[in-house]
Amino acid sequence: MAEPFLEIGTTISIQKTELDHLITRLAHMGYQVVGPRVKDHTLVHAPLKAAAQLPLGFSSHQEPGKFTLLKGNHNNYFEITTGPQSWKQYFFPPKSEMMKFQKVGGDHSTWQVTDAAQDAPRYAMLGVRPCDLAAIEIQDKVFMRDEWCDPLYRSRRENAFIVTVNCNEPCGTCFCASMGTGPKATAGFDLSLTELENNFLVEIGSEAGRMALSDETIAWQPASAFLLNAAKKELDAAIQKMGRQLPDPAALVDQLLGNLDHPRWAEVAGRCLSCASCTQVCPTCFCWDVTDVTLLPMDTITRVRQWDSCFNPDYSYVAHGNTRPSTRSRYRQWLTHKFASWYGQFGSSGCVGCGRCITWCPAGIDHVEEITAIRATAVRGANGKEGANS
Partner 1 sequence: MNQKELMSTLQTIPWFQEISPTHFEKIAGIAGLVEVDAKQELFREGDPEDYLYIVIQGRIAIEMFVPGRGRVRIYTAEPMDVVGWSSVIPVVRQRTAGAVAVLPSTLVRLDALGLRQIGEEDCALGYIVMRRMANVVASRLLTTRLQLLDMFSHPSDGEGIYG
Partner 2 sequence: MTLPTPTQTTTCHSQHPMTPLWAELVDVQAEAPGVSTYWLKFKDAGIRESYSFEPGQFNILSVPGYGEAAISISSDMTSPERIGHTIRLAGNVTNAIARLNPNDTLGVRGPFGSSWPIKACKGKDIYMAAGGIGLPPLRPVIYHIMQNRSDFGEVVVLYGARTPADLQFTAEYDSWRAAGIKVLVTVDRADESWDGTVGVVPLLFYHLRMNPLNSVAFTCGPEIMMRFVVYEALARRLPEENIFVSFERNMKCGFGSCGHCQLGPYFVCKDGPVFTYQQLQPYFNVENF
Using CB under 8 A, list all residues that contact partner 1: 319-321
Footprint of partner 2 on 97-136 (CB under 8 A): 98-99, 101, 103, 108-111, 113, 115
Is the preceding peptide bond at 183 cis, omega within 30 degrees of 0?
A: yes
325 binds, among partner 1, partner 2, none (CB under 5 to 8 A by kind): partner 2
The count of residues interacting with partner 2 (CB under 8 A) is 57
Task: Please say which residue, 129 or 324, places its beta carbon nearer to partner 1.
Answer: 324
User: Does residue 303 interact with partner 2 by CB under 8 A?
Assistant: yes
| Sheet bearing 95-104, strands edge to edge | 110-115, 95-104, 300-307, 288-294
Angle at 85 between CA 98 and CA 310, to 5 degrees: 60
- Region from 10-18, 56-64, 144-152, 229-237 binding partner 2, contact rule CB under 8 A: 144-152
241 binds, among partner 2, partner 1, none (CB under 5 to 8 A by kind): none
Shortest distance (Å) from residue 16 CB to partner 2: 42
Shortest distance (Å) from residue 94 CB to partner 2: 14
Shortest distance (Å) from residue 317 CB to partner 1: 8
Closest CA to 102 of 111, 93, 110: 111
Task: Please say which residue, 108 or 320, places its beta carbon nearer to partner 1.
Answer: 320
Alpha carbon distance 347, 66 (integer Å): 32
- Region from 130-138, 181-189, 204-212, 297-305 binding partner 2, contact rule CB under 8 A: 297-305
65: left (phi over 0), alpha (psi -120 to 50) or beta: left
Task: Please say which residue, 225 or 319, places its beta carbon nearer to partner 1.
Answer: 319
Footprint of partner 2 on 7-66 (CB under 8 A): none
110 binds, among partner 2, partner 1, none (CB under 5 to 8 A by kind): partner 2
Alpha carbon distance 34, 47 (integer Å): 4
User: Does residue 386 interact with partner 2 by CB under 8 A?
Assistant: no
Alpha carbon distance 337, 331 (integer Å): 10
Alpha carbon distance 47, 358 (integer Å): 27
Task: Please say which residue, 206 or 316, places its beta carbon nearer to partner 1.
Answer: 316
- Compute CA 298 distance to the chain's CA centroid, rounded to the nearest angstrom: 38
Footprint of partner 2 on 168-207 (CB under 8 A): none
334: left (phi over 0), alpha (psi -120 to 50) or beta: alpha
- Compute CA 347 distance to the chain's CA centroid, rounded to the nearest angstrom: 18
**Of the residues 106, 270, 344, 347, which one makes contact with partner 2 according to CB under 8 A:** 344
Residue 371 near residue 244, CB atoms below 8 Å = no
228 binds, among partner 1, partner 2, none (CB under 5 to 8 A by kind): none
- Region from 12-20, 192-200, 213-221, 315-323 binding partner 2, contact rule CB under 8 A: 315-323
Alpha carbon distance 239, 380 (integer Å): 34
User: Does residue 154 interact with partner 2 by CB under 8 A?
Assistant: no
Task: Please say which residue, 59 or 284, places its beta carbon nearer to partner 2.
Answer: 284
SS3 277: helix
Shortest distance (Å) from residue 314 CB to partner 1: 10
386 binds, among partner 2, partner 1, none (CB under 5 to 8 A by kind): none
Task: Please say which residue, 41 or 320, places its beta carbon nearer to partner 1.
Answer: 320
Alpha carbon distance 189, 202 (integer Å): 11
User: Does residue 320 interact with partner 2 by CB under 8 A?
Assistant: yes
Alpha carbon distance 171, 157 (integer Å): 27
> What stretches of the chain show up as alpha helix (H) in DSSP?
18-28, 88-91, 130-143, 151-158, 176-179, 207-213, 225-240, 252-257, 263-269, 277-281, 327-336, 342-346, 356-359, 367-376
Site of interaction with partner 2 (CB under 8 A):
98-99, 101, 103, 108-111, 113, 115, 142-143, 147-148, 150-151, 257-258, 260-261, 286-292, 294, 298, 301, 303, 308, 310, 315-320, 323-326, 328-329, 332-333, 336-337, 340-345, 382-383
